[in-house]
Amino acid sequence: MVRVKRGNIARKRRNKILTLARGAHSVLFRVANQQVMKALKYSYVNRKQKKRIFRRVWITRINAASRIEGVTYSRFINKLNNAKIGLNRKMLSQIAVLDNSTFSKILNFDETSNN
């Protein structure tokens, strides 16, 4: 059988894993490989969770700003849907944080359109 020398390929594969690992785990290949697999798994899951977390933050901000105006979040969103105002929660939270007068105008426009 022919001898196969994998020195270059194997070294590149191991060095790729070792550069991805951090801290004390970046010395031994076996430990580094476990940590890199775990980190990649967590990063995949957290990319999905990040979307959920930001949506919760936006809803909390909108709720706080709408309660200052005397309306709950669910009633505010219901009024927006009835008035066919197509602003998403990200934009509404940015308006609520940065420009309170515009947010109150959106709320008042919403109330006048239903009457």
Cα 61 to Cα 56, 81, 87, 89, 98: the distances in Å are 9, 18, 15, 9, 11
pLDDT confidence of residue 111: 55
Q: Walk along the chain (115 residues) and give the pLDDT tens digit of each residue.
A: 888 777 798 899 999 999 999 888 888 999 999 999 999 999 999 999 999 999 999 999 999 999 999 999 999 999 999 988 889 999 999 999 999 999 999 988 755 655 5
pTM for this one? 0.75
pLDDT confidence of residue 114: 55
Cα 98 to Cα 13, 59, 89: the distances in Å are 49, 15, 14
Q: Where are the domains of the chain?
A: 7-114
Q: Is 39 exposed, middle or buried (0-12, 13-18, 19+ CB in 10 A)?
A: middle
pLDDT confidence of residue 108: 84
* Domain boundaries 7-114, corresponding CATH code: 1.10.1900.20
